Structure formats: structure tokens, C-alpha cells
Chains A and B, each alone.
Chain A
Amino acid sequence: MSAGLRVRGVEVDLGGRPVLRGLDLDLRPGELVGLIGPNGAGKTTLLRAILGLTRVRAGEVLIDGHPLRRRRAEIGYVPQRHEFAWDFPISVEQVVLTGRAGGLRPGRGPGVADWRAVDRALRLVAMTDLRRRPVGELSGGQRQRVLVARALALDPSVLLLDEPFTGLDLPTQESLLTMFTGLADGANGEARAVLMTTHDIGSALFACRRVVLLNRTVVATGTAAELRARPDAWSETFGVGVDSPFLRVLAAGVTV
């Protein structure tokens, strides 16, 4: 039984328009994989398809060799930060607890196991000290950590991050990236498969073990070094000429 995430031949239409076609992707525990593509390439749609939030027309998604409905708890999801109601009067630890809301029975409060999971998730993202702080008072980076902790509350083996760096300054991005690498490596426990969509190509090439170039389908996948040697793939993904400034910077090995 193969561990991690396995996507095979996935096709998704939105509003009658083809968004993903013949998409194959493998993600193994211990890997931090960057998902890169232009706006409208289907990055978020792919994450939603993996999570079963959008109808998959064809193909299959397997988690540890099983279909999603039997392994829902194995996928942690960190949606984009603006989806969250930050003005809600709730503390950090209560938000992390909602990560287990799917398993709480009506009328039953959280039990010891739930709070233990919350403690653990808060430790993994280094937010234990701020656990009683109202979420509205947190900085952008701290908010991102809370959302990651919420996704970790079920101790998933696969973690999906949607644009975790949007609107954050460079030092904050760096510390988050270190954290994501640690979560994948299993520095603080079990190794996880982490898939991250991002527009920050520099960080992705620098920190991810593997980068996937996406535009409706997987155009190319490989290590940073492998992909630097393939301007054709970048050109195809982003629809730019092979002599564009963007690709020259990339080829020069400068992180953007």
C-alpha cells in the first residue's frame, strides 16, 4: 500500500469550462512540494479536487492507497487566509479546536484527546504562548500559523497549503517556510507530505524538494536544478517567450 497522496488522470470542469486535464501527481511523506502556475492554472482547484470539495469528472485521488471518503482525517487543509472570519471573537486554541469539529458529536464537548491534539498542533507551529489570544489581534504570520495548527489538529499525513505567503513580508515568509520544511521532514514527529501552492517562485525553488509546474495539467516536475535547465517548461506554463526577462532571471539562478 503506497503511503502519501496519489492523483491519477484527474479532470475537473468548472461552469462547463475545462480546468484540469489528465493530471497525475504523487506526493510522498517527507516531501515539501511547491505547486507553481499562473493565475487560473487550476492550483486551488487541484487542492479542492483532492479534498473532495469539487466534482472530479474523471480520474481518482488516493490517500495511503484509499479513496478520500475513508481517509478524510489524513488530509489537513490550509485555505487562503482571507477565507477566515478574523473578526470572530475566538481564541487561538478554540480555532485550532475547530479543526476537529468534523469528529465532535452533537452536544458533546471536546474531550481530553481533542485538547491533547490541540496542544500538540500549537507546539508544532510554535504558538503555545499565544493560545489564549483573540485571533483578531494576531499578525499575518501568526494567523497563518494558527490556520496550519488547525489543519494539524487531526494529525494528518498529507498537508495542503493554499498560498500561505500572500501578503506576508520576507522574514515572516522565511520562518514559515522553515516551519513547513520541518513539518514535512517530521523534525517534531512523523514525516508528512506537504503540497504548497505559491506565487513565490524563489522560495519554492529554494526550499521545496520538488516543484510542480501546473497549467491545467502537470507541465513539468523536478528539483530546482532540473527545472532551471528547462526554460521550455516554464515558457509553456506561464505563456511567456523563452527570452522573457522572467526566464532569464530564473536561468541565472537568482531567486526572485
Chain B
Amino acid sequence: MSPLDFLADLTNPDLRFLPKALAVAMMSSIVCGVVGCYVVLRGMAFIGDAVAHAVFPGLAVAFVLSGNLIVGGTVAGVLTAVLIAVFSQGRRLKEDSVIGVFFVAAFALGVVIISRAPGYAGSLQQFLFGSIAGVPDRDLVVIAGTGLVVLTVLFLLHHGLVAVTLDREMARALGLRVFLHDLVLYVLVTLAVVMSVQTIGNVLVLALLVAPAATARLLTDRLGAMMVLAPVVGVVGATVGLYVSWSWDLPVGATIVLVLAAAFLLAWLAAPRHGVLAVLARGRERTPATRPGSAAVL
């Protein structure tokens, strides 16, 4: 299918779910891209994964009760995020152990709940791996609103979040409320996950948080540039992924994730300063000064 055919399908009134899926994927990519910068820079990928999985019991409860999935997911995700933040303030247990306990438990709870609902297998797959037709009309507005809230809060707290990420001890000495910043960041990650989960899927949404931001990190040494690049990478990846998935009839979430992973790989190889090729090239320039062939190995 040519891109032109894809464009025609996007405007086809019989395929209304397609532009809707594209809109949601793009909004998710923008918000996840920006939030993802903090996730990557703070080494919070595991927390992102935890929250993504923890959203599941909320979705399951909402599904069983025929309630709003976004509300259900948000409640469960925020609850887990708060629990992680509280438990990880203590020194005895490392954060990752706390997360390991909570997120698997939450996920298991979700599986148990949804197993009680009729049509168990189909709905489970839709939650875990996303669906192109997964978003009802009324959720579009909610998703856009959620995204706007997340970006606004990030903008308002930017300086504090940077200070806390750089050096927690110093942030405390400056009188910043470190715990509050942690908590807000966890909740923002949760919201970014929840707004993306219906299209991308519970298991795959982590890639949307981490891959674009990690790609952007390889391309720049400036935080501002990184926070612009990450959502751009995400939006391009989501659009290309949706196109490929629609053309070849592939699962949409997985295809988007694969495209993003390919983008990351490309940046890892070819990034101007930190890419493997650039490092090798610099190594070769230096080689004559040292022992032949040694620089590339080092």
C-alpha cells in the first residue's frame, strides 16, 4: 500500500477508527516522549514498566463493571505509583525490589479480575497488546485533556524536577520538596501510560516512554533539544508504525514499537557524536598517534 492509499483510507468515512487511532498514537507519542526524557535520565525505566503493568487491574475492574477504562487505569496506576514512592523512601529496600513486588502483584490481580469476565481471552489480548479500534469516541477528548494536563504540570515543575534529578541531596538543601517531586513525576508517568495503553497495549507502552527519549539522548547533549526531539521521534515512529501495520495487517502496538526500536538502533549506530560509527571514526583518526588498531578496540 502506498502512502497515498494510506492517506485515502485515513479520510475514508467508513474507516473512522483509523484517523482516530492515528490521533491517539500521536498524542501518546508526544506526551510519552516528553515524560520519557525524565524516565530515561533518572533511570526510571523499571518504574515506567511497573506503572504500565499496575494500570492493568484498574482497566480490568473498569472493564468488568463497564466503567471508563481511563479512569480505572488512572486510579490503579496512581495508587501503585504512590505506594512505590512511599516504600522506596526507606533505605532498607532498594526501589527496584519494592517495584518488583508491587507491579507483579498488581498485574496478577488484573489477570484474576478479568478472568471472571465473559470473553476473557479476547479482552485480555486487547489490553496487553493494544488495538487499532480500541478507543471509543468519548475517550478522545479525555486523552487530549490528560495529555495537556501532563505537559502543563511538567512545564510548571521543570526547574524543580531538573534539580531533583541532578542531585537529590542538594535539592533538599535548597529547600525543594524532593518526595513531592518524585510523587508528581510518578503520577505523570502513570497518566502518560494510561492515555496510551488502549492503542499500544499494556505490555508495549514502556517502549513509547523509553525508546524515543533514549534515541533523543543519543542525538543531543542538551536537555531542551532532547525534550523536543523525543516527541518528534515518537510521532514519526507512531505514524510510520501505523502505516506499516495498516498496510501489512500487523498488530498496531507491536509495529509501532518495532519502528521505534529501529529508530533507536539507527541512532545508536549513526548518531553524530555518540554513535558507534562516529566513535569508531574518531578512533581511526587517533590510531596513527598510538599503536595501530588499538584505539578502535579501546
Query: Taking beta carbons and an 8 Å cutoff, which residues of A are in contact with B?
Result: 51, 53, 72, 75, 77, 79, 83-85, 88-91, 94-95, 97-99, 101-102, 104, 106-107, 109-110, 134, 136, 150
Can you list 23 residue pairs at the A/B interface with Cβ under 8 Å? A72-B174, A77-B170, A79-B173, A83-B169, A83-B170, A84-B166, A85-B41, A85-B167, A88-B165, A89-B41, A89-B220, A94-B162, A98-B159, A98-B162, A101-B162, A101-B163, A101-B174, A106-B157, A106-B160, A107-B155, A107-B156, A110-B159, A150-B170
On whether the beta carbons of A89 and B217 are closer than 8 Å, the reply is yes
A107 vs B154: C-alpha distance when bound (angstroms)? 9
A236 vs B46: C-alpha distance when bound (angstroms)? 48
On whether the beta carbons of A79 and B170 are closer than 8 Å, the reply is yes
On whether the beta carbons of A89 and B222 are closer than 8 Å, the reply is yes
Known interface pairs A51-B173, A72-B175. Does A95 touch B221 (Cβ–Cβ under 8 Å)? Answer: no
A195 vs B226: C-alpha distance when bound (angstroms)? 38
Other than the given A89-B221, A98-B159, A136-B221, 10 more pairs (CB < 8 A) read A51-B173, A53-B169, A83-B168, A85-B167, A98-B166, A98-B167, A102-B163, A102-B175, A106-B156, A106-B160
A137 closest partner in B (C-beta)? B221
A208 vs B169: C-alpha distance when bound (angstroms)? 26
Q: Which A residues are in CB contact (< 8 Å) with B176?
A: 101-102
Q: Which A residues are in CB contact (< 8 Å) with B172?
A: 53
Q: Which A residues are in CB contact (< 8 Å) with B169?
A: 53, 79, 83
Known interface pairs A89-B220, A101-B160, A107-B156. Does A53 touch B173 (Cβ–Cβ under 8 Å)? Answer: yes
Tell me whether B140 is interfacial, beta carbon within 8 Å: no
Q: How many residues of B contact A (CB 8 A)?
A: 26
Tell me whether B64 is interfacial, beta carbon within 8 Å: no
Q: Which B residues are in CB contact (< 8 Å) with A104?
A: 159-160
Query: Taking beta carbons and an 8 Å cutoff, which residues of B are in contact with A?
Result: 41, 155-157, 159-160, 162-163, 165-176, 217, 220-223, 226
Q: Which 3 A-B pairs have the closest CB atoms?
A: A102-B174, A101-B163, A134-B221
Known interface pairs A83-B170, A95-B166, A101-B171. Does A89 touch B155 (Cβ–Cβ under 8 Å)? Answer: no
Question: Which of B155, B157, B163 has the most C-beta atoms of chain A within 10 angstroms of its own C-beta?
Answer: B163
Q: Which A residues are in CB contact (< 8 Å) with B162?
A: 90, 94, 98, 101
Question: Which of A53, A75, A89 has the most C-beta atoms of chain B within 10 angstroms of its own C-beta?
Answer: A89
On whether the beta carbons of A88 and B163 are closer than 8 Å, the reply is no
Q: Which A residues are in CB contact (< 8 Å) with B163?
A: 98, 101-102
Question: Which of A53, A72, A102 has the most C-beta atoms of chain B within 10 angstroms of its own C-beta?
Answer: A102
Q: Which A residues are in CB contact (< 8 Å) with B160?
A: 101, 104, 106
Known interface pairs A90-B166, A107-B156. Does A77 touch B173 (Cβ–Cβ under 8 Å)? Answer: yes
A79 closest partner in B (C-beta)? B169
Q: Which B residues are in CB contact (< 8 Å) with A77?
A: 170, 173
Q: Which A residues are in CB contact (< 8 Å) with B174?
A: 72, 99, 101-102
Q: Which B residues are in CB contact (< 8 Å) with A75?
A: 173
A214 vs B157: C-alpha distance when bound (angstroms)? 40
Q: Which B residues are in CB contact (< 8 Å) with A136?
A: 221
